[in-house]
Amino acid sequence: MLSERLLNSLNEQINFELESEYIYLAMAAYCENEDLQGFANFFKVQAQEERFHATKFYDFIFQMGGRVTLKGIPAPQNDYKDILSVFTEGLKHEQEVTRRIYALSDIAMEEKEHATISFLKWFIDEQVEEEDTFNNLIKKLKRIDNSPAALYMLDEELAARTFTPPATEA
């Protein structure tokens, strides 16, 4: 059974994952407005991943006999200086997600709640991948600098990204 502290923290994470979905949809909308549909697709896929993550937390809480409590979601940032700043903010956001997952893991370890420790390992591994993806795209955008042709090539690459839920569940 989950302690009240751990249950509250897991519920906060559900809400944060849903907030993340909202943030990435706003980033997608910015990209659409800049005629960068591939970049918009990247963020739409990110939003789908965040919804998937929220659902994993939701299901886990119920599996553990807890109660899910949803809260309001703050309005996201809608305007950015340029496409690089969108990805820089995206990376900062993923770093915050990582920080929160680590804090959850710390609570689970303190409480010796092994099912939650096992569950959170998937998210820890996922965050390594997420931060790496953003870091690599930021490096590419910095190399592109002011080359419209290179920007549109990257836009085409990102247009091919799709969301496929993992076959094995944590």
CATH number of domain containing 34: 1.20.1260.10
Residue 62 maps to a domain: yes
Residue 144 maps to a domain: yes
Q: Which domain holds residue 133?
A: 4-159
What's the number of domains the chain is made of?
Answer: 1
Structural contact between residues 84 and 138, judged by C-beta atoms closer than 8 angstroms: yes
pLDDT of residue 169: 52
Gap between the Cα atoms of 39 and 53, Å rounded: 21
Residue 49 maps to a domain: yes
pLDDT of residue 1: 83
Residue 170 maps to a domain: no
Residue 91 maps to a domain: yes
Q: How far is CA 44 from CA 39, 49, 103, 166, in A?
A: 9, 9, 27, 17
Enter the DSSP assignment of 34: T
Per residue of the chain (170 residues), what is the pLDDT tens digit? 899 999 999 999 999 999 999 999 999 999 999 999 999 999 999 999 999 999 999 999 999 999 999 999 999 999 999 999 999 999 999 999 999 999 999 999 999 999 999 999 999 999 999 999 999 999 999 999 889 999 999 999 999 999 988 776 54
Structure tokens at 67: 């109660």
Gap between the Cα atoms of 119 and 105, Å rounded: 9
Candidates 65, 49, 55; CA nearest to 15 is 55
Residue 167 maps to a domain: no
| pTM, full prediction | 0.93
pLDDT of residue 168: 60
Residue 100 maps to a domain: yes
pLDDT of residue 146: 83
Residue with tokens 């820089």: 88
Instruction: Please provide residue 118's backbone torsions phi and psi, each rounded to the nearest 5 degrees.
Output: -60, -45
Structural contact between residues 14 and 58, judged by C-beta atoms closer than 8 angstroms: yes
Residue with tokens 């989950």: 2
Structural contact between residues 141 and 154, judged by C-beta atoms closer than 8 angstroms: yes
Gap between the Cα atoms of 73 and 24, Å rounded: 13
Residue type, 165: P
Gap between the Cα atoms of 168 and 16, Å rounded: 23
Residue 115 maps to a domain: yes
